[in-house]
Amino acid sequence: MLQINPNLTDLVADAAAGLRQRLQATATITAAAPGRVNLIGEHIDYCDGFVMPFAIDRYIVIAGCANGTNEARICDHTLPGMAVLDVTAMQQAGTPKWSNYLRGVIRGFQDRGHHIPGFDAFIISSIPGGAGLSSSAALECATATFLEGLLDTVLDTKEKALLCQKAEHDFVHVPCGIMDQFASAFGKPNRLILIDCQSGEPELVPFENPDLTVLIANTMVHHELSDGGYALRRKHTEDGLAILGKASWRDVTAADVTAAWSQLGDPVNRRSRHVVGEIARTITAAAALARNDFEALGPLMAASHDSLRDDFEVSCSELDIMVEIARKIGRAGGVIGARMTGGGFGGSTVTLCDASKATAIAATLAADYAAATGISPQIFASRPSQGAHLVTSGQ
C-alpha cells in the first residue's frame, strides 16, 4: 500500500543507462530536482501570501553531456522519439509539447547572455505526473541545474527559481506563483520552506521530529491547470483586490472582505475570503511550528481544505473523499491533519501523521478510497528532501 520512494542513486544510474541506450552518449553532467508538497498556504502564492511547502523525496533526473553540435537532443524515459532543438537560435515554444519546459529554461539562460552549446540529455522521473506534486517545476529546475553544469556557472538560487517560473509562464502558459519552483530549488532535508511571497524570501523552518511523517495520496484524477481553472481563480483574486482598492492582499482584513461582500459579488467574495483566511492560517501554522506545536496544524489544515472546497472551489469529489477518510481515522488513529495540496482539480492530498502509524493509515486510505471511487490511489510517505542539485559521482 505504502509505496517505496525510488532511490535517487538508482534513478541516476537509470538516467545514465537511458542516455547510453537512446542517444549513445556518456553522462558527464547529471542534475536532480525534486517535486514538492505543500503543507499549508494554498492558492495564495500569487496573492502576496505565505506558503509552506517542502521538497519531496521524488525527483526528475537529467543525465547528459555536450555533443559538439548546434543541437540539443533530448529523450524522456516515458516517451518515444526525441526533441531536437537548435540551440543557436533564441528559443521559442515548439514541439513536442513537453520540450517547452526545457525550451523556456534555455531561453532564460539565453536572455542572460549565455551561449548554449549542443548537448544530449535523457530525462527520468520518480514524480507522478499530473498529481499536483510539481513535476513541471522539477523539470524546469532540473533543466536549469543541468545547464549550470553544462555552462560551468551557478545562478543565485532565487534567480534560478524565478527563471524557471518565467519559463512556465511564457512557454507553458500557466500563470503560476512562485511556490513550486522555490520549493524545488531551495529544498533542504528536515526543513519546510516558509515563503513570504510578498518579499519573495524563503525561510527554512525545522521539521525534524522523527515521530512525524507526511503521507501523500495521489487520487489518480487530474485536470490540467492550463485548462483555465487556475488562471480563472487567479483572475478572481485580482478582481477582488481591485474592488477592495488595496495594493496587496497583505493589507486586507477579514472585516474588509465582509464589509465589501455584496460589492465583491459571488464568487469573488468567497475567493477573497479564502485568500485572507488562508494567509492568516499559514501565519498561525508557522508560529505553531516555531513552538514545535505540530498538533495545532490539524484544525488549520482542515479549515484550509474546507475553504479550498467551498470558497475557492478547486477541490473535487475524489480529493474530498480522501481527506474525509483521513479525518475519520482521526488523531486516535494517528492523523494530525489532512487537506488537498497543490493547484487542485484533482491531484493529491497531504496527511500529517504519526510515523509509527503511517503504514496502517495508508492501508485505510487506499482501501476506503478504492471502495468509494473504484480507483486505486498511489500513496507514499515523504520527509523534506534536498532541492535541485548537480549529482556528483558516487552520490
Choice from 18, 29, 43, 312 touching ligand GLA (CB under 6 A): 43
Pick the binder of ligand GLA from 35, 49, 104, 343 (CB under 6 A): 343
| Distance between start and end Cα atoms, the chain | 28
**Nearest approach, Cβ of residue 171 and ligand GLA (Å):** 14
Locate cell 488537498: which residue? Answer: 340
Q: How many CB atoms lie within 10 A of CB 210?
A: 8
User: How many residues at the interface with ligand GLA, by CB under 6 A?
Assistant: 10
CA pair distance 151, 142, nearest whole angstrom: 14
Beta carbon of residue 245, minimum distance to ligand GLA (angstroms, whole number): 24
Residue pair 341/132 in contact by the 8 Å Cβ criterion: yes
Q: Does residue 192 touch ligand GLA according to CB under 6 A?
A: no
| Cβ proximity to ligand GLA, 170 vs 354, nearer residue | 170
Question: CA-CA distance, 72 to 348, in Å (whole number)?
Answer: 34
180 forms part of the interface with ligand GLA (CB under 6 A): yes
Mark the segment that binds ligand GLA (CB under 6 A) among 39-47, 96-104, 198-206, 248-256: 39-47
Q: Which stretch binds ligand GLA (CB under 6 A): 12-20, 41-49, 74-82, 320-328?
A: 41-49
Which among 95-103, 153-161, 176-184, 243-251 is the span making contact with ligand GLA, rule CB under 6 A?
176-184
Q: Which of 163, 37, 52, 152 is nearest to 103 (CA)?
A: 163
User: Which CB, 20 or 235, lies closer to ligand GLA?
Assistant: 235
Asked if 278 is part of the footprint of ligand GLA (rule: CB under 6 A), the reply reads no
Between CA 158 and CA 177 the distance in angstroms is 13
Amino acid present at 112: R
> Is residue 176 close enough to count as binding ligand GLA by CB under 6 A?
yes
- Catalytic residue chosen out of the listed positions 180, 310, 354, 368: 180
Looking at residue 127, the DSSP 8-state letter turns out to be S
- Most distant CA atoms of the chain, gap in Å: 66
CB of 38 to ligand GLA, least distance (A): 6
Site membership for ligand GLA, residue 346 (CB under 6 A): no
Q: Crossing angle, helix 268-290 and helix 229-244, to 10 degrees?
A: 90
Residue 313 as a binder of ligand GLA (CB under 6 A): the answer is no
Burial 117-155 (b: 16+ CB within 10 A, else e): ebbbbbbbbbbbebbbbbbbbbbbbbbbbbbbbbbeeeb
Q: How many residues does the chain have?
A: 395
Provide φ and ψ at 385, rounded to 5°. -125, 175
Query: Do 320 and 309 touch, CB atoms closer than 8 A?
Result: yes
Is 180 catalytic? The answer is: yes
Residue 366 binding ligand GLA, by CB under 6 A: no
- The answer to whether 45 contacts ligand GLA (rule: CB under 6 A) is yes
* Region near ligand GLA per CB under 6 A, out of 3-11, 42-50, 244-252, 297-305: 42-50
Q: Which is nearer to ligand GLA, 35 or 334 (CB)?
A: 35
Which one of the spans 116-124, 174-182, 187-195, 362-370 is the region binding ligand GLA (CB under 6 A)?
174-182
Which of residues 85, 179, 185, 323 is near ligand GLA by CB under 6 A?
A: 179
Q: Are 390 and 62 in contact (CB under 8 A)?
A: no
Among 12, 29, 42, 222, interactor with ligand GLA by CB under 6 A: 42
Closest CA to 103 of 38, 39, 47, 147: 147
Q: Which three cell numbers stand for residue 298?
A: 490539524
Residues forming the active site: 180
Point out which residues bind ligand GLA (CB under 6 A): 42-43, 45-46, 176-177, 179-180, 342-343
